[in-house]
Structure 1
């Protein structure tokens, strides 16, 4: 007799299974699962929400309060690095095949480009010829002789040094004397120049103002003078030059982003620059902060960053082994930066910075 296919009759096979009805049940289950599976626009709602929050965070960074651990300043210090979350979220969106999360990522991308896109290209222009440079040489620098010679070889017309240790100051003066016949040292900061200097004086950036109106204490007072002002006699007229080394910023588990001394220094320096009568001003120094940080509003409202206007990239300077932030600055007023760049590493934990300016 001919064999009758159990799938056609719906009868049980030799193992007692109803193969016909089983096939139909499997097909129904697959259809139900396919119908209940969310579409690409409904997948990844958490990823989409995170993308939108990232964009709002960068867009509204100025609204983050500093009342708790200086969170606002901490976020602004490392603000460019928040862009690294975009490829992470994009990888998650592609893995989830989420159209909504992919589209939502346009928000942080556009915000980041609006904030930092202008820093990505080379903005240097020909012309200028007057070079200024600045370097935190580091109190623990193991080879100040090599550092001084490397800086002299840069060809800068004006060279500012910060964090000058007393025991190494004579070394810098000796090694830089041939290239820079004019110089001044005020406390732990100094300026070396190929052109004559005049009207040189220390700038007091140590203020009495503190949290809760506390008076300045021995702990709050910075060791030695940390800022100076002088006039460089250029072929185009007098150029006021400020050199400053502001207080350090520290991340403390209990205090958060601790910047009390630095912020007071920045406020006092901003007030000094505000009263400066010279039309042409250059500020060189280790400000221990980025120009995105609101603590420097009193300075950035009156001066422009040479790196932002004429540099190539972000120009990170610290730490020298793996630079993550730009805390060494060249700011100008009344002159035009034509180029800005980073000089080769020395024995310091900071990288030197330089800029070419014109009138």
Structure 2
């Protein structure tokens, strides 16, 4: 009886140790014997191809109707979420057609956005800069200012400064940043001397952009701060971004006319680098996140970041690293970057 019990135990144990293989063989056999795997899932396959085409041809989606192209480009990386959804649906439907078609959007997404997953940041850098839309309704401006100081940035831009909160920020930042200038609702604080501070007209009727020359130990840098108009998604009007687009054109013109070779743009552009409507700026400057960032660096909304609408862009300098800073009382995350001031 002992031998019989042992033999039975070994047989049962062998079956228990190999259930995944058995299930996999059963799964393969079901697919192999299913003549409908090529006929089912045609809709899923079409959805996969459409997803790939939208990512490939996003620049061809017209903006004439509700700025649909810009809206799509703002959230373009999130189209990748359709890949696992279609994958699960294709497996449930047992559709070989859908699975093969799914390779197309998967490859396109990896080609467009896969590189952003990697950490491209490096060491070094002569200057650390940061920018933060502090939110006019921020309940804790003092705490927000402390977070900025603790970041260690040499130059800091703040946007959406409420007039009544400006003295609070000035007092909290004064000990660390000897030089500063506030123009309208934007401001710039620096550890290094600042000259030539002035507002920049971005066609809004009030001041939401400025520039100043910061004299670092490695030379002068023209620093621009901008808060482009907000955008909204409305059922009757679509993506209302026309005012932002006009302001982006004006900002691009100002930067193009800059005399100083080294230029840094800090601010809330209310748009991503994929948005063709920001081309006046993005065509002449590099995003520090794209060149030297760690991950996507989404900055808004702070509770669940879905897009990087806050930007640090450079011209005539080399980005070394870029990252988001801890959350403050704002609905945006602050972002920072280290740059090399090449000769």
Q: Same fold (TM over 0.5)?
A: yes
CA offset at residue 38 of structure 1?
A: 3.8
Distance 2:337 2:176 in 1: 18
Match of 1:356 in 2: 338
Mapping of 1:91-102 within 5 angstroms?
Answer: 91-102=88-99
Runs of 4+, deviation exceeding 2 Å: 36-43
| 1:110 Cα offset (Å) | 1.1
Counterpart position of 2:25:
none
Query: Cα offset for 1:40?
Result: 2.3
Per-residue deviation, 1:49: 1.2
Per-residue CA deviation, residues 159-205 of structure 1 (Å, 9 max, x unaligned), is 00000000000110011000000000000000000000011111000
Query: Partners of 2:50 and 2:37 in 1: how far apart?
Result: 20
* 2:280 pairs with 1:315: no
Q: Tell me the SS of whatever aligns to 1:116.
A: helix
Q: Which residue of structure 2 lines up, in the alignment, with residue 339 of structure 1?
A: 321
Tell me the TM-score normalized by structure 1.
0.84
Deviations 1:140-164 (A, max 9, x none): 0001111111111111000000000
1:18 maps to none
Please name the residue that 2:284 is paired with: 302
Number of residue pairs the alignment of both structures matches: 310
Q: What is the match of residue 134 of structure 1?
A: 131
Question: What is residue 145 of structure 2 aligned with on the other side?
Answer: 148
- For residue 327 of structure 1, the aligned residue among 306, 309, 323 is 309
Matched, 1:70 2:52: no
Q: Distance in 2 between matches of 1:157 and 1:255?
A: 42
CA distance in 2, matches of 1:104, 1:181: 59
Is the aligned partner of 1:116 residue 2:105?
no
Worse-superposed segment, 251-260 or 42-51: 42-51
Cα RMSD of the aligned pairs, angstroms, is: 1.4
Mapped to 1, the partners of 2:107 and 2:260 lie a distance apart of 39
Normalized per residue, the structure richer in helix is 2
Question: Paired residue for 1:196, among 193, 197, 200?
Answer: 193
**Residue 41 of structure 1: CA displacement?**
2.6
| Counterpart Cα distance in 1 of 2:209 and 2:99 | 49
Equivalent in the alignment of 2:260: 278
Tell me the CA shift for residue 37 of structure 1. Answer: 6.5
1:244 maps to 2:241: no
Deviation, structure 1 residue 83: 0.6
Residue 303 of structure 1 and its aligned partner are, at CA, apart by 0.2
Q: Which runs of 5+ in 1 are unaligned?
A: 1-35, 207-220
Cα distance in 1 for residues equivalent to 2:331 and 2:135: 7
